[in-house]
Amino acid sequence: MEKKERYTITAALPYTNGPVHIGHLAGVYVPGDIFARFQRLKENDVVYLCGSDEHGVAITIKAKKEGITPQEVVDKYHAIIKKSFKDFGISFDIYSRTSNEGHHKTAQEFFKKLHEQGEFIEKVSEQYYDAKENQFLADRYIAGTCPHCSNDGAYGDQCEKCGTSLSPMDLINPVSTLTGNTPEVKETKHWFLPLDKYEPWLKEWILEGHKKDWKTNVYGQCKSWLEQGLAPRAVTRDLDWGIKVPLKDAENKVLYVWFDAPVGYISATKEWAEKEGKNWEDYWKDEDTKLVQFIGKDNIVFHCIIFPSMLKAHGDYILPNNVPAMEFLNLEGNKISTSRNWAVWLHEFLIDFPGKQDSLRYTLTALAPETKDNDFTWAELQTKNNSELVGVLGNFVNRVVVLTNKYWGGEVPALGELSEVDKSVIEKMQTFPDRVESSIVKYRLREAQLEMMNLARLGNKYLTEEEPWKAYKTDEARAKTILNISLQICAKLSVLAAPFLPFTVEKMKHILNFSANTWEESKPEMLLPSGHQIGKAELLFERIDDEQIEAQLKRLADIKIANEEANRKVEPEKEAVSFDDFQKMDIRVGTILTAEKVKKAKKLLKLEVDTGIDTRTVVSGIAEHFSPEELVGKQVSILVNLAPRKIRGVESQGMILMAEDSNGVLKLINPSETKVKEGSVIA
């Protein structure tokens, strides 16, 4: 028997100022879940843990904006995020949170030990201070004029207009965003972790020690950071939201969120171990334990450089064995963005696609940005679901189960004499457990899932080519052999698919009346003995229709328009006109009676409009925005005393008023929601 291993598997703590989206799921939580589920099947000792990251200035800003407390912000999103993970079958052994008292204690102890060992350096620096609010100002709480582009809405950390990184002292005319006052400059003391001190050790540990086993994208980023050189990094902040610095001379100071958050992995382990009656130290202090940390690429520096330096400085802890960070997942060709609402939110996905957790998990793994950024499209979800899950896996299992029930009342038929094809299929199917395994342990999860599906493809092809429904009529023993082998493949799939498709596997176990709980159990040739009773067929997957995909694309298109509208520069105001000039314009309510295209002019429509005064002809350049049919009966605002002019040989007697959005799309100015009498004056 193989020696059992111990794994501490962590997934990046989601920052609790918003819900989680498909990019998070694809980059961190599904990969971590596949790995954790696999290691449990291997009967290894596993803890898979995560929790909400609930401190930091971004949460206080969100709270101010919404007029609630930071605690209310994190309570709200912690609940939403936790539920999303549960809904998608992310099998955390614990999902904790950094606002827990236990975490505050653990993080403070961590800080204190480093402080006592003299690992920190203390530095006094000048910072902006708001005397009215009696607090130092975080970078985001200072606004002013950008020294580069003169944008007067730049923040203390960045000018969002020109993209320049700033420090608060760079801003011209700084103001506190809390009070609008000009802040004073005051001295403040902070504690710094001298990362430069760990640089030689990090170079050896990563660049020498993990050249072969870490992913190239992770290794490359570490190398680039280490070659640029590391500087001391502040571990404390002047802020009132967070974990108090446990020192006498540190009033109104908290641990910087990047320092407290990774310690959250340790706190969560303690919390879990206490509940489970385990010793948490086995998972963090035993040299044989493998610490594997799933993160997105924006977190590489924290998990490969900063956190290991903290662990090294502390001295009691093991270091990460691997940090298989993913690149980013884009959505329909654009970067996922919370502020622009360009995202597929997990809690919303299940409203539109109930029961389709595995379809999304499968698609995200198939598209996982393992080595470079990748793109999620709705069309891809539909294809993966319909062609692969429904068309291959679902179709195969369904045909096998239906035929077994139809011919032999659901009893696994006897295996007869084997043909050369049978022998070859059995030989091939026996290679799959090792193929899937060897990809998972190298963190090649796309490849692992593909291998699992290749077993379903093998089964599907075998069934289609051997045609047991034909054999049944002429040679029942032959049909029995084909179905027996097909059922063995189904049973094997029910184990190999378990890390990827947990919801589907539950259904398969029920249908096959076969419940393996270890990877080893997938390995025998014959998993279902003849005479074993299976259940009735149930559909494993349902198709996704074109209309469902179109609705999602429409939603994104609407978001795009709304974003462009929100960013649109408003036209500058025109020169003032006198009231008399304004009075000269005669604008009335009219109703469009007829509309037709003007021949050989693709932009023009000829309209007959009831103006209350008369029925008149108006030629309008709106043919690319409206069909003639949709205009008939619409009420409009019409300038009736515009001097008539001939357009393409037709005399136009007035002008229909329109609004134009940022994409140049025209909208009618409807006088009212209810009908207004034609000829009513608009003034």
* Minimum gap (Å) between residue 567 Cβ and Zn ion: 16
Q: Is the dihedral of CA 463, 467, 472, 474 positive or negative?
A: negative
Residues 6 or more apart whose Cβ sits within 8 Å of residue 39 = 5, 7, 9, 46
Q: Which residue type is seen at 681?
A: V
Measure CA 176 to chain center.
33
* Minimum gap (Å) between residue 679 Cβ and Zn ion: 53
Comparing CB distances to Zn ion, the nearer of 159 and 436 is 159
Which SS3 state, helix, strand or coil, does residue 621 take?
coil
> Could you say which residues in the range 277-336 bind Zn ion, by CB under 5 A?
none
Comparing CB distances to Zn ion, the nearer of 166 and 291 is 166
* Minimum gap (Å) between residue 164 Cβ and Zn ion: 5
* Minimum gap (Å) between residue 178 Cβ and Zn ion: 22
Q: Is the dihedral of CA 602, 608, 610, 616 positive or negative?
A: positive
Give the CA radius of gyration of the chain.
33
Comparing CB distances to Zn ion, the nearer of 145 and 299 is 145
Tokens of 73: 């912000």
Comparing CB distances to Zn ion, the nearer of 171 and 389 is 171
DSSP 254-269: EE-HHHHHHHHHHHHH
* Minimum gap (Å) between residue 57 Cβ and Zn ion: 21
Binding residues for Zn ion, how many (CB under 5 A)? Answer: 7
Comparing CB distances to Zn ion, the nearer of 161 and 442 is 161
Comparing CB distances to Zn ion, the nearer of 146 and 254 is 146
- Cα dihedral 52→55→57→58 (10° resolution): 10
> Could you say which residues in the range 51-90 bind Zn ion, by CB under 5 A?
none
Comparing CB distances to Zn ion, the nearer of 146 and 609 is 146
Residue 531 CA to residue 388 CA, distance in Å, equals 31
Which SS3 state, helix, strand or coil, does residue 128 take?
strand
The pair phi, psi for residue 399, each rounded to 5°, is -60, -45
Comparing CB distances to Zn ion, the nearer of 145 and 385 is 145
Site string for Zn ion, 141-160 (x = CB under 5 A): -----x-xx-x-------x-
Comparing CB distances to Zn ion, the nearer of 8 and 145 is 145
* Minimum gap (Å) between residue 146 Cβ and Zn ion: 3
CB count, 10 Å around CB of 121? Answer: 12
Comparing CB distances to Zn ion, the nearer of 151 and 430 is 151
* Minimum gap (Å) between residue 392 Cβ and Zn ion: 53
* Minimum gap (Å) between residue 156 Cβ and Zn ion: 13
Tokens of 295: 């993160």
CA-wise closest residue to 112 among 264, 244, 280, 269: 244
Q: Is 355 left (phi over 0), alpha (psi -120 to 50) or beta?
A: left
Site string for Zn ion, 471-490 (x = CB under 5 A): --------------------
CA-wise closest residue to 59 among 252, 244, 265, 240: 240
* Minimum gap (Å) between residue 126 Cβ and Zn ion: 23
Comparing CB distances to Zn ion, the nearer of 151 and 615 is 151
* Minimum gap (Å) between residue 144 Cβ and Zn ion: 11
Site string for Zn ion, 195-224 (x = CB under 5 A): ------------------------------
Residue 194 CA to residue 120 CA, distance in Å, equals 7
* Minimum gap (Å) between residue 149 Cβ and Zn ion: 3
Tokens of 27: 């980059």
Comparing CB distances to Zn ion, the nearer of 158 and 430 is 158
Tokens of 383: 């294809």
Comparing CB distances to Zn ion, the nearer of 95 and 155 is 155
* Minimum gap (Å) between residue 157 Cβ and Zn ion: 12
21 in Cβ contact with 344 (< 8 Å): yes
Instruction: Considering only the stretches 139-147, 264-272, 412-420, 605-613, report the one whose residues sit in contact with Zn ion under the rule CB under 5 A.
Output: 139-147
Comparing CB distances to Zn ion, the nearer of 64 and 140 is 140
The pair phi, psi for residue 528, each rounded to 5°, is -115, 115
* Minimum gap (Å) between residue 160 Cβ and Zn ion: 8
Q: Provide the pairing of β-strand 233-234 with 184-193.
A: antiparallel
Site string for Zn ion, 160-179 (x = CB under 5 A): -xx-----------------
* Largest Cα span, the chain: 103
Residue 296 CA to residue 299 CA, distance in Å, equals 6
366 in Cβ contact with 355 (< 8 Å): no
* Minimum gap (Å) between residue 171 Cβ and Zn ion: 10
Residues 6 or more apart whose Cβ sits within 8 Å of residue 38 = 437, 440, 499, 519
Tokens of 653: 């007697």
497 in Cβ contact with 508 (< 8 Å): yes
8 in Cβ contact with 47 (< 8 Å): yes
* Interface ranges with Zn ion (CB under 5 A): 146, 148-149, 151, 159, 161-162
